Structure 1
């Protein structure tokens, strides 16, 4: 769970600034907001970089899981942030990882984390354990969810740049651009929206 730091009550929004490799998170004192005052003046901004514990200044994506942790991806592994400490998951402490190239993270309704990688395929993480769900595919990002709880993902494949995965059975199918579009037209897919545990963006 996220630890309280100073008077930090609740992290409500994440602001990634990918300018010159800088990473920042905005903190909201949401219980003390005054409706008639300067809105932005009621927020504070704290900055983390490699000098304050962040393993790398290059962050590809950020995701907040339902238990409050913030997960960061990049070329130096998967990073978990609890509000104070950064914990890295790399080839050094996760034997199944073939490289530290981690692309994106999302979470299913049963609190399982799903992780796309550039070399190790699709992973899941639950109760402190990583498992390789689909190997040997260079996944990129989560694009949409299916009505059954699976995912449409992008992959490094010029002919079939997309792949649809059933997280219940492990079945998957490569898709062309036209095949992907037909799934949206038929309302088989729902576009992923990055939200927090309360549904906020």
Structure 2
């Protein structure tokens, strides 16, 4: 699905952390398939990203839309939600839990299981490895078996966030606020029931 400029009200605009956003334009896109490509096997992987592009009024490529909003092209932080894509989990390690979600190293990703199977199991060296039986082959391919949520950003922005040098009302601050102030389990269950 092509990116969509936020020129009409959507559920994303009603989230308190995104309400009245200034200095960024919100654009979202969705796609199907594994992050690193390859065939779809037991469950259909999908991704949705909400991008917060910084608006640069002096940039000649900045566009003004009829509703009064602006968009500047370039790099943007993103709130990324994926379902059924083990690629998102295998390069990360669990570091704890928060509000019933597993927290993973590498951008403080949240992961939620929806099939009762653990995301990670004990590995041969005593560490954790991705559960090779994470996906239940008996469930319909369209079922959401697990979901991940994280805010993707440039490494210098991640460092600034760690050192508390990110403005809460800037694009990254608002995406992080959305990540930490959303009921992801309820959204996952609602999306799975609707599918």
Bigger relative CO (Cα 8 Å, ≥ 6 apart):
2
Answer 1 or 2: which has greater strand percent: 1
Same fold (TM over 0.5): no
Answer 1 or 2: which has greater helix percent: 2
TM-score w.r.t. the length of structure 1 is: 0.21
TM-score w.r.t. the length of structure 2 is: 0.22
